[in-house]
Chain A
């Protein structure tokens, strides 16, 4: 069974600070996705990374896929209260296969 370890489990920061969430595995993934989930709603896709070493930016969010395609990170610059939520990483062994989810990181950005 593939496992994705996500850290930290919980992060509480002040508005304006930066934060980084990590997603690590001993397995290789063909693609890795990052999602954000609000309470009572389904996860919303933020980004998909597929190439080892790939870096993608989405406004204040920067996503990186490890060279070996086993790990990934999400970095948020100048966090805002609207960034509060549950961040989930998920990997797929091959295109179309089921996703394996990390344990999630609950982020709280205080105004």
Chain B
């Protein structure tokens, strides 16, 4: 079975400060990992993914994520937050050798204060 945990329901950060949204996962094999963002009344938008290779993955809008196999984590980061980054963020995982369907975390609401 595969699972994803986003331990924080909400993250608050001041504009200009670095942000981190946490994600840990569990799969029986090797993972494919994804981050999506959802703005109010919209569908999810793909931000970035880890398949293999470099543990630091760069994505859209200045976001990046670091894959840590030993800690089974895939935290989303951005060096300098913008008010417009305020949204709901979802982490998702697929097991390379397992289910084709991704498992999503429950989401983390990011609030960036001016």
The yes or no verdict on A and B being binding partners is: no
Interface, chain A (partner B; CB < 8 A): none
Interface of B toward A, CB cutoff 8 Å:
none
